[in-house]
Amino acid sequence: MKFVILGTVSAEGAGRSEDRGKRAAAKVKELGITVESMHYTQGPVDFVEVVDAPSGEAMLALSLWYAKQGYGKLQSLPAYDRDAMARAESRA
C-alpha cells in the first residue's frame, strides 16, 4: 500500500543528518518499506516521501522508531491511485 510521509526533523536530528539517513534507510528496509521518492521542503514539514509499505502497522512502527531516536516526527497518510478512487466513488 502506498503512503505519503510528511516528516519533520528535530534540532537533535538535524545535527545527526548522516547518521539519521543511514539508520532510517536500514529501518525502512527491515520493515519492508520501499521509498519511491523523497523531497526536501520549506514550510511546516521538512521532507515529503512517497513509499510503498506492506501495511499500516509497518508505517506505525517506522513512525514510532523515528520519534524514539529523537530524529523528529513522521505523519503517514494512505495514498490511493485513480482506480481506487473510481471504485470508492462507485460504492459511495
Chain segment 8-55, per-residue pLDDT in tens: 999 988 888 888 899 999 999 999 999 999 999 999 999 999 999 999
b (16+ CB within 10 A) / e for 40-78: eeeeebbeebebebeeeebbebbbebbeebebbebebee
**Domain count across the chain:** 1
Q: Which domain holds residue 10?
A: 2-91
pLDDT of residue 8: 96
User: What CATH number does residue 11 fall under?
Assistant: 3.30.70.260
pLDDT of residue 16: 86
pLDDT of residue 13: 87
Q: What's the mean pLDDT in 48-70? A: 97
Q: What's the mean pLDDT in 79-87? A: 96
